[in-house]
Amino acid sequence: MSPQANSNDQNPVINVAPSPHVFSMGMTIPVMMRDVLIALVPAVGMAVYFFHWYAVKQLSICVLACLGAEAVFTRMRNRPLSLGDLSATVTGLILGLSLPATAPWYVGAISAVVAIGIGKIVFGGLGMNIFNPAMVGRAFVMIAFAGKMAASGYIDPASGIDALSQATPLSAFKQFGATVPLSSLFWGTTNGSIGETSALICLLGGLYLCFRRIAAWQIPAGILVTVAVIGAVANLADLHSQWTVFHHLLGGALFFGAFFIATDPVTSPVTSAGKWIFGIGIGALVMLLRLFSGYPEGVMFAVLLMNALTPLINRWAIPRPFGGV
Amino acid sequence: MLTLLKKLSPSGRSGGSFPGPGTFVHGVHPPQRKELAADAAIEIVPPPEKVILPLLQHVGGPCTPLVKARQKVAFGEMIGSGETFVSAALHASVGGVIQKMAVTTLPNGRHLQAIVIRSEGEQLCGQALWDQMFGGLWPEKTYQSLEPGKIADAIHAAGIVGLGGAAFPTHVKIMPSDKKPIHTLIVNGCECEPYLTTDYRVMVEAADAVVAGALLAARAVGAKKTYIGIENNKLEAVDALRRKAAGAGVKLAVVKTKYPQGSEKHLIKAVLNFEVPLGGLPADVGVVMTNAATVTAVARSVMRNIPLTHRVISVTGGGVVQPKNLLVPIGITMGDVIRYCGGLRKTAARIIAGGPMMGFAFTNLQTPVTKGTSGITILTREEIRRIDQRACIRCGRCVDVCPMKLVPTKLAAASRLKDLNLARKYNIMACFECGSCAYVCPAGLQLVQHIRMGKTLLAAEMRK
Ligand code: SF4
Ligand code: SF4
């Protein structure tokens, strides 16, 4: 039946739909991804400042390979092209930032293809994946090309010498017991994966994400607090005492991981309690791996492990409803 | 000056003291758009040619028709009796001749038998009608000695149901029970649905009747305290009520504007700081709540012996030519009402019975206004624009806004998979379909639709 009550000669087209009938248009998935990209700007800038051409190359390869892989895989599965949601770009950037500058081009490319293909598409695309795609890609090359993943291309921006051969602070400490001044860890004038070396820069972008409520603040808070507590206990127990709790906090991929990797909404729990459990779990696993395993760093494995536990955490952390007991 | 400051501050509790925090956790802030109709004084719509009166306009059993075709009825005559306890009587909203029984479909999808009256002869209308319904003096003091049972009887006879939208028979709600003594009556003047200004106009223009009705309802339930809960975006109504309420022992509780503050449980939380237990009723914490427009009908029935034949509705939204607030006879068609407001704009895209968050969309303009129709919201294509649907990215935004503190994404997923045990574990039945979750979802998911389906399935299974 067409509406008869109208003052215009042209009938308006009336449709029906279930409630609600109005929606908040401000926050969409592409907007969220765009925010992540904005938050990554300082980290990318820092990477380019410290690692020059190596960083540009690494990041471009990873982003382009992720976009290419996304396009090819969605085409193969006959799905509409999903590049518009920017999620492949985000995965590519985070992946690139988590690789060492000197890793050869094919390491970046392969990890990107694995990240998108195995990390995301086989699960059914964005939203269906269990594991953080970038970390899946990184874990793959970490195991397949172990030798190539040792960070060795650090450029000292002050000295102007090209590629310095130097181990990352965490592995240097593990191997020869050498410590790095805290200030280098804070400002980022040290070696490591290209996006993770400066805790300050990661914090800047991370706070923006939390402020925009793209990242749940409970996750980085849980991680950092747990690492601080366990680090302090380890300090007191005189375990690796020159590597203080502050080195643990500022060193390695901790800040980058806490704010950019662990907070991937798809692969972390949905409730507030669940997010705390998730963050604390990652913090504990990171410290376990750092203190007792053969690997110098543990952020990647800790995130992947907690990703696997996320469905369980979700089932376990059902919030008390309003008026419930 | 100080009062002015208080008024301007968004959390200003200009209404005196009440024990609650003045708000609840979670919720959303959809654009209010109340300005479209807020300042339009209530207009009295002349009697239409015919009214369509469904036999079931309330929660409960249908009423039994008392009239036959071709019979003449007078304005206000009872034409349907509510025989079962949870039911409500029906009265002729115009004088005239009964037509053949018709079947009508309400916006909520129910097909119902309806009595049709063709209006005939002189009708009470215009200012005279207003004076009878809302005008004049409301000397509730003379009724302070009235027996509570008498008040309930008057309400029952007048066929009054909740006018806020739920349409629960009021005499049932206020029935005193020894097991659950009532200490507080709260009049709900929040009207948290965007766009709607029905209760707002009633409170502004008929504050006396609201206060008188509140006192009568409080007396009926045996409540010692009476509050009027009202959001702080309705300051004109606060002022109008305060003048009358202070002397009468009714307290104003001015609460923060947030959707869905008008939900019964959340207003009790805001005003009294009680949490109604899951699956329970306000009476479980000693409270009865009734809507502001409803108490004016209560006052009218008790003090003037007038049944529920008319109600105030807002006709608003970007898709109607002249947004208005109207006093209409129940049973008038939506088409008649919209025509009175100048018709639809070319850009109109959706017509909703009620507000945009919980209202029902419909297309048939022969649908009658019922007792529970709180307004007609007509939205444009632009206003109903929504986000492209994508997969859930588990961002938790729906969790962060759910006023019942549920996990909407899981409820929707469990419903879609028909995993009723999981849905139950996540307390699906506590969802009251407020729409907050779907409003914020960045993936544009139809969360409420899925949850509604899951609730229906679970209810069917529990009946088995
Ligand atoms: S708001 Fe939407 S996308 Fe986010 S968790 Fe809820 S359902 Fe999923
Ligand atoms: S789950 Fe139900 S109660 Fe919670 S926000 Fe969604 S519609 Fe409202």
Residue B434: give the domain boundaries: 397-463
Residues 102-131 of A with CB under 8 A from B: 124-128
Band of residue A184 on the pLDDT scale cut at 50, 70, 90: low
Q: Is the pLDDT of residue B180 over 50?
A: yes
Q: Is the pLDDT of residue A231 over 90?
A: no
B210 within some domain? yes
Q: Residue B102, Cβ neighbours under 10 Å: how many?
A: 16
Asked if residue B403 and residue B295 are part of one domain, the reply reads: no
With an 8 Å Cβ cutoff, are B321 and A18 in contact? no
Residue B8, domain CATH? 3.40.50.11540
Asked if residue B442 and residue B298 are part of one domain, the reply reads: no
**What is residue A122's predicted lDDT score, i.e. its pLDDT?**
82
Is residue B302 within 6 Å of ligand 2 at its C-beta? no
Phi, psi of B239 (to 5 degrees): -60, -45
Is residue B404 within 6 Å of ligand 2 at its C-beta? yes
B9 within some domain? yes
Tell me the C-alpha distance between A324 and B426, whole Å: 11
B388 within some domain? no
B69 within some domain? no
With an 8 Å Cβ cutoff, are B344 and A24 in contact? no
B149 within some domain? yes
Asked if residue B153 and residue B33 are part of one domain, the reply reads: yes
User: Looking at the CA of B407, which ligand is closest?
Assistant: 2
Nearest to A3 among B28, B363, B446 (CB): B363
Domain-ending residue, one of B258, B275, B303? B303
Asked if residue B419 and residue B291 are part of one domain, the reply reads: no
**Beta-strand (E) ranges in B294-367?**
310-316, 324-329, 348-353, 360-362
| Spatial contact of B407 and B392, defined as CB atoms under 8 Å apart | no
Q: Which residues on chain B are in Cβ contact (under 8 Å) with A314?
A: 410
In the reported structure, the alpha carbon of residue B438 is separated from the centroid of ligand 1 by a whole-number distance in angstroms of 8
Asked if residue B409 and residue B294 are part of one domain, the reply reads: no
Per mean pLDDT, which range of A173-182, A234-243, B14-23, B452-461 is the poorest? A173-182
B143-163 burial, b if ≥16 CB within 10 A, otherwise e? Answer: beebebeebbebbbbbbbbbb
A271–B contact, CB cutoff 8 A: yes
Chain B interface test: which of A22, A74, A121, A306 (most B C-beta within 10 Å)? A22
User: Looking at the CA of A314, which ligand is closest?
Assistant: 1
**What is residue B458's predicted lDDT score, i.e. its pLDDT?**
93
Asked if residue B289 and residue B162 are part of one domain, the reply reads: yes
B94 within some domain? no
Of residues B261, B209, B216, the one with CA closest to residue B234: B261
In whole numbers, what is the pLDDT of chain B averaged over residues? Answer: 91
B205 within some domain? yes
B195 within some domain? yes
Domain-ending residue, one of B288, B303, B318? B303
Give chain B's domain count: 2
Is residue B94 within 6 Å of ligand 2 at its C-beta? no
Residues B232-269 have pLDDT tens digits of 999 999 999 988 888 888 999 999 999 999 999 999 99
What is residue A90's three-state secondary structure? Answer: helix
Query: In order of start, what are the domains of chain A with their CATH numbers?
Result: 29-315 (1.10.3430)
| Spatial contact of B288 and B185, defined as CB atoms under 8 Å apart | yes
Tell me the C-alpha distance between A119 and A132, whole Å: 7
**What is residue A249's predicted lDDT score, i.e. its pLDDT?**
81
Distance from CA of A10 to the nearest CA of B (A): 7
